[in-house]
Structure 1
């Protein structure tokens, strides 16, 4: 998580504006994030007016707008409503992104049945997931079938080849079940043809120690009239809250009203927070979950119990002797996936660097309190970059409080550090940012021959940079033009090459289809893609460029001795052309 899938997918799709509208399918808890990221990463030539050109579908009765250039819909809604399975013009979508694509792992599920024809018939498709298979090879079938339509065998044949068969006896019936993985090297070759995989260990030295992500929640609860009451009281309050309002200081008359707004905001967004927590739990992420109000913590605890997730809870009512016991339990037991913590009661003195993700279900009006809570994970002994997720409910007190935190952090930075600092100054990643941007001055990209592994400006992690200059991190490539050590090393390791384009360093990745694996040239490669589909990836340091295909140089000899023979890849004539990866 947090290695730039969203940014890469949107930047890639932006290269094909004639194929818009873009369909984005994601979990319901991430729709707000995609709206913000689309407005951030898509150029103004596509999205000049985000409110008009980006449509988030919130309920089944919504109507698609003809002017929408980006349509964002949840898995459940698109599976239930056929109206969302084509554009407002009644045409098939030609460019589609599926976030958390492992939601499609079961071919017989309703969402898989609904999305499979959409993904198979679209011209361009990006499936994003940190966990393409959770437990067994059979879970890959549905994703591959969407990317390689018409090329795979049946699900049963696929599983026979790549899974271990197990027969279970249920009463008098014998049920066949697929488990594990066999022929893993061959399956990896199939995946490697359509997959770009990132690991934190590959980019850890390039990542900041702490990254903050603003997660926008667009679904607020109106249970027991909470949302209505919240809006009425916000209207009656009539202004943005000040520090004294929330702390009960100089504005004593407004303290009670502002504190009540703070409580109602927590209650109104708790269901959306619970959805986001479920998303993290199902992604097998281990994290610290901070909240402020007891009612919010109680609801989140009920959600964790329903999910059967291992967790601990520490709040102001937890005795000090038991607190230490719970902390040691969380640190020593990986089965404890979540630590549910009170912001004020647990912001200091706890060492919980065993996980690298921190989630704030609610905000606090003091920046120092939030920073101290962040540092429960970001401290000595932490081996990874720490991701901090701030869950912000749109059009609520959250937005006002966050702006106030920005102002206060600025003042603290001037006083203590001698320079302005911001609560979002280090923000990067795919969930949003408050960082201000400016052009990077005098970029000095090195030539392709230098083999420079880092894009221009890769060491400039200071606040205020154009976020597009540093948001995509990639493993160190081989030197450009370096000779491969042999046939096997070329097939398994060749990462592409570094080229220079418009004063930006661009890495072209090897990304092939099984159907074109024996082709020697990129030009011929593209002609063999089914239905004009393009399965390529573009990685770029700040400057959008046209995506490329870099073909593997399979010869007759190589295809005969090195290329796996797939049951669904027979009959392709090997190419005799010399290898010639295409350039940008």
Structure 2
């Protein structure tokens, strides 16, 4: 039995053992099935990065083994290498669709724990001895660092030289002891429920003081709602969930609040697409403060800077030195990015925040987001934990004291209202444009139905019918199985069973590429609309000035760009596969060059943080799966400084599932309205739009059958 080549390293290439006796299938069929699963995920817009990386690692190792294996003939070796090349080709094609995956193909990239676990599972399935389980480190979790960790030389010099690195407890405050009547109560669920079930008209913003004059650079002026936050920071308030609607100037508020609180050095964790813009905003609003931006391993950063800007994507390399650098304030921009507490980015952000609080009892902590609720009220958890309001499963000391001071427990009738107010008073700041910026023109969303060509419409309608038929067959099979087990006859439509069938279809769509699933179907519709959407954007640009064009998938952006180029229309592109410098040059060209009339943007790469108010028309070529993503895109244009009414044109493919998805997206907007704005409008279900779309298709089909 051939011995595997042994390799070691921290980049995910683990040691191999000997082959176990295996079946005739071996590892290649396992890899082929896994790469098809990865491809399916990418086609429907979801990235399975762990499985992608696990397949890439195994393909690389298997290629090395095959080339070195002297026990096989040249023909056998060529056959295996060709099969491996086919798998590698699918990986490359998938990465071309989702450029964020390219970094996982680098030989030096560190493998995630999830990828290594999947790799071991695939080795077992392919008849190989799995890599050994990594030993658990004995050091505390906050001290565990990957081999990618870096400490730039400038940072090391700053940490040796700066006196602010010593813990500072001079600003600590003491609260009087309070009777602990709530000991033993589970409080997180009631706290979240207090926002989900808020009474219409209840206050959704902490009390803010009247604004006092601020010393600003010449030519700049704060709006009153911005000045109130800065004044609150000057008066000593130190934690904020700044949840103003997009476009109300949260960046300026955060920078000036840090200046008022003297919260330097200040750490700003932001999406990569806006980190250059953050540096510009620092120079604009607080020009006396130095700023440095971390790129890659950070060789060029200034360790002595007052403000350090880092993007989520490289935070893992720098979390070690950042956590001990002595920051007195931390801002997390687009804070809904950390809503998944299991993600690496969330864990790094929460760890850094905890370490800052250990050194500075009252640091300035600010979470900035215009869309704090993406799918569910539970999205609040990670943000509250970052701010120190809650711990993992219980309120933090300050919130617990405030809850005790209400004199109530969760069984009391008034507890939820009092608890909600206690959280708001910790620092929730939520203002709507209609309330504080009446000079911003109105915004409207206009649906523009388009007719696809006859052949495409027929193809999509056929795919929808096949999907609906599959749902009906699954429903009928479940009904028949129930009748066989219990002789129960279902009269009418069992709506709970409908939802279970829809969930099963979504789960199967994750595992199989056979048949037309809802994700592939929506993507097909997006490609079919691409030219029509780009043509409409071109018409708008000729008649109404600059236009922002948003799409979700690269192939849709490519099609739009090709059409604009063929017509000689000046355009720029903002995409996820661009370097920050290229992206910023393209944004500047759109803003400043009169000949560049359209910017073709990725919903994910350009949907946050950018200021594109030079335009007043937005074309949404593809529908998002969340109202929040759609809102973020529109508010790149509808923001302070806009002088014209803003219209977002949603391109809807007539006679397809597109229209139903648009309705569901609009319905989901009610959740955030109730939780943060105390709206009395009806709250739609917080379940995923994908699920609701399938439920609607199946329910309609069953209803038609009964009539």
TM-score, scaled to structure 1: 0.35
Kindly indicate which of the two structures has a greater share of residues assigned to strand.
1
Which gives a bigger RCO, structure 1 or 2 (Cα 8 Å, sep 6+)? 2
Bigger Rg, which one: 2
Kindly indicate which of the two structures has a greater share of residues assigned to helix.
2
